[in-house]
Amino acid sequence: MTGVLDFDELFYKHERVRWSPTRDLPPFSEIDRSKIDGDMVDGLVVLARTEFSSIPAILDLVRIFRHDADLTAWLSIWFAEEVRHHLLLRQWAEAAGRDPEGMVPELTRPELGDPPAIATLAVNVLGEVRTCRLYGAMAAACEEPVLAALLKKIAGDEGRHAQGFAHYARKLATADPDGAVPVLLRVGQLWCDPDSGLADANPAAENYQEAETAAAMAELHRRWVDPEREARAICSLFGDIAGLPISTPSDFATLRKQVRA
Ligand SMILES: [Fe+2]
Ligand SMILES: [Fe+2]
């Protein structure tokens, strides 16, 4: 069966590994309280707040891609999964004795304007790769089995989100390499330079969170994620999207000079 939309195939990629909290995870009543790590729970609060920022993000994504029904169809899966991550992290923390009040932030929505579609996709690829690696590292270190199982499932979702955004970014880059590749390289280079942030590539990168949550997420990354392995994953995926050999962060600057980005 051939798909009319790219979404058709992506849908089944998600569906084949669809997991249910009630079927595929141990119930929260089985949380082993002797293995709860206070620092890990503090991290979960930050993650639950961050997942909630998918709500203002979806409003901009469906606006930016309002002419792209295929991508918008896929966003319906992305959004449902992100909101579910928020719910499950919050409910695990509540079951472990944490007050859930502080885990539902006020919604923050920047004035975004109309950023280039390819920049928006590239920034989302970055975000998904980074959260995938963060959840994966936390799952591997987590001694509480119910939470470890949940974090592992979420890491898998985030990895598929990265692949989904990358799929549509590759499609744009293939259709318009002259327009898309310089933007991809620019986003990549900005990500590699910790002082530059992503603001001038796409202000949505951090601004859906309050500053305090964004800073706490950066701290979680520093604590849990191996920066070199993460860099290799991001370079490889951006190289695949752009159709260019990108294996180290310095390749972004080198290639930008070649394409005069
Ligand atoms: Fe998520
Ligand atoms: Fe995600």
pLDDT in tens, 160-177: 999 999 999 999 999 999
pLDDT at 248: 94
Instruction: Please choose, from the candidates 75, 84, 72, the residue with its C-alpha nearest in 3D space to the C-alpha of residue 18.
Output: 84
User: For residue 163, which ligand has an atom nearest its CA?
Assistant: 2
Confidence grade of residue 201 (pLDDT, cut at 50, 70, 90):
low
User: For residue 135, which ligand has an atom nearest its CA?
Assistant: 1
CATH of the domain at 193: 1.10.620.20
**H or E element: which one contains 61?**
helix 54-64
Task: Judge contact between 6 and 70, C-beta under 8 A.
Answer: yes
Report how far ligand 2's centroid is from the alpha carbon of 165 (Å). Answer: 10
Lookup: tokens for 20: 């249910």
Domain annotation covers residue 25? no
Domain annotation covers residue 106? yes
Domain annotation covers residue 10? no
Domain annotation covers residue 255? yes
Domain annotation covers residue 221? yes
Task: Judge contact between 151 and 145, C-beta under 8 A.
Answer: no
Domain annotation covers residue 187? yes
Report how far ligand 1's centroid is from the alpha carbon of 259 (Å). Answer: 34
Domain annotation covers residue 70? yes
- Cβ < 5 A residues, ion ligand 2: 128, 158, 161
The model carries a pTM of: 0.93
pLDDT at 208: 79
| Boundaries of domain holding 161 | 35-259
Query: What is the total count of domains within the chain?
Result: 1
Report how far ligand 1's centroid is from the alpha carbon of 261 (Å). Answer: 32
Lookup: tokens for 30: 């089985």
Report how far ligand 2's centroid is from the alpha carbon of 45 (Å). Answer: 16
Radius of gyration of the CA atoms of the chain, in A: 18
Whether pLDDT at 180 is above 60: yes
Report how far ligand 1's centroid is from the alpha carbon of 94 (Å). Answer: 18
Rounded to the nearest angstrom, the gap between the alpha carbon of residue 119 and the centroid of all alpha carbons in its chain is 14
